[in-house]
């Protein structure tokens, strides 16, 4: 395989975009990424776009064709990739493999979702399709309820507390308050999280990621070409994906995501690294319990110790392993198809040393972890400055 690097990165603000549509968001992010790379559209060989539910959310399918048209990239092939909330990382993986294989040289990767035009209940039902529609959503088990079951089991087995869960939200809002692209640029207190409205016991509304509009984009090139575009290309040194049962009730355990564990082990082997070599990570914190489980699945902390590690500040900006410097899904926002690409953008900025207000000192190795549904799909990438 050829070595693959990120030569351009960009994103829109995440939040409620009432004056901008789906295509406006993705064109904005794409142009920012191309500008950052210093290239024009005629240099691009192919594109991959992650979006989960554009047909249900805005009535638009055929996303690849739409974006090739509106970004002025015809006749360049652009392919839509879908894997629930992991759609963005799957698009990145497809772009990585296209460049690594030699099939294409310059590839643009994007992620986008326009979610706020519908009611909360409608969006919740649409997102529920990322689980087992017949055995979960049809019977009333939406994702807050599913992750609440995971949280309760984690509490039972390891003594995890609501304060430990809340500490992840507090930390991520602290980081989000320092990210000009974040949906929620304000800090929270433990009391605010713990006394917020109950959604699915023990998860409260401030344990949950929001409904979000947004887009993100990156540009990939082989490393032997990358330095002709940018002084500091960020190399993707590992890309791994794994699968598990789509329904929670069929899993071997409720306190970990097997797909994430396997993807992480594969990525570490590919990069010839271990968890202790990672300087920072963007993980999939759709709910606070998801972050606690993620930092255990990724090997940063032993199983059952993710909660205490979070409460003790080990995942803060100045902690042992900074987690979700962008604010994560919780504070930066979660436009589902864009999340995985946003994670790559944040890691790129951190490894370039330009993450204003939240920069991790001497960061050289970063990791992103993106999950589809409640764990049926997991994607892990590792990046090197």
Please identify every residue annotated as catalytic. 85, 334
82/73 Cα distance (integer angstroms): 21
371 DSSP assignment: E
Shortest CA distance to 380 belongs to which of 247, 278, 302?
A: 278
Q: Are 30 and 44 in contact (CB under 8 A)?
A: no
Using omega within 30 degrees of 0 as the cis cutoff, is the peptide bond preceding 202 cis? yes
Q: Are 314 and 322 in contact (CB under 8 A)?
A: no
Cα 53 to Cα 11, 125, 342, distances in angstroms: 19, 11, 17
117/21 Cα distance (integer angstroms): 10
Q: Widest CA span of the chain, in angstroms? A: 56
302/51 Cα distance (integer angstroms): 33
Q: Are 341 and 216 in contact (CB under 8 A)?
A: yes
Q: Cβ-count burial of 185 within 10 angstroms (0-12 exposed, 13-18 middle, 19+ buried)?
A: middle
52 DSSP assignment: S
3-state secondary structure of 346: helix
φ/ψ of 243, rounded to 5, equals -125, 160
Q: Dig out the tokens for 349 from the structure.
A: 């900025």
DSSP lists the bridge partners of residue 47 as 78, 108
């Amino acid at each position: 395989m050829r070595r693959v690097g990120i030569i351009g990165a960009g994103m829109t603000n995440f939040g409620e975009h009432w004056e901008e549509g789906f295509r406006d968001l993705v064109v904005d992010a794409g142009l920012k990424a191309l500008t950052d790379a210093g290239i024009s559209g005629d240099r691009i060989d192919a594109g991959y776009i992650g979006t989960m539910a554009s047909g249900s959310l805005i009535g638009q399918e055929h996303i690849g064709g739409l974006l090739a048209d509106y970004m002025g990239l015809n006749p360049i092939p652009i392919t839509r990739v879908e894997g629930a909330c992991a759609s963005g990382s799957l698009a990145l993986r497809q772009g990585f493999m296209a460049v690594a294989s030699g099939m294409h040289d310059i590839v643009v990767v994007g992620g986008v979702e326009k979610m706020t035009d519908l009611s909360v209940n409608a969006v919740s039902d649409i997102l529920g399709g990322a689980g087992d529609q017949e055995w979960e959503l049809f019977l009333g088990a939406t994702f807050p309820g599913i992750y609440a079951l995971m949280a309760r089991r984690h509490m039972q087995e390891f003594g995890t507390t609501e304060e430990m869960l809340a500490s992840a939200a507090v930390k991520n809002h602290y980081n989000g308050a320092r990210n000009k692209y974040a949906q929620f640029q304000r800090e929270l207190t433990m009391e605010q999280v713990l006394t917020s409205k109950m959604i699915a016991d023990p998860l409260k509304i401030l344990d949950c990621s929001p409904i979000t509009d947004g887009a993100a984009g990156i540009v990939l090139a082989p490393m032997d070409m990358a330095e002709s575009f940018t002084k500091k290309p960020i190399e993707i040194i590992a890309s791994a994906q794994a699968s598990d049962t789509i329904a929670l009730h069929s899993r071997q355990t409720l306190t970990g995501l097997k797909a994430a564990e396997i993807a992480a082990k594969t990525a570490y082997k590919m990069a010839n690294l271990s968890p202790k070599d990672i300087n920072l990570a963007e993980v999939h914190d759709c709910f606070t319990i998801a972050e606690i489980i993620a930092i255990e699945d990724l090997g940063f902390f032993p199983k059952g110790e993710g909660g205490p590690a979070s409460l003790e500040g080990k995942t803060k900006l100045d902690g042992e392993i900074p987690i979700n410097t962008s604010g994560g899904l919780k504070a930066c926002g979660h436009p589902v198809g864009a999340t995985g690409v946003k994670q790559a953008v944040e890691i790129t900025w951190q490894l370039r040393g330009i993450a204003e207000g939240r920069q991790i000192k001497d960061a050289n190795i970063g990791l992103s972890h993106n999950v589809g549904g409640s764990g049926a799909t997991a994607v892990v990438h590792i990046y090197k400055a």
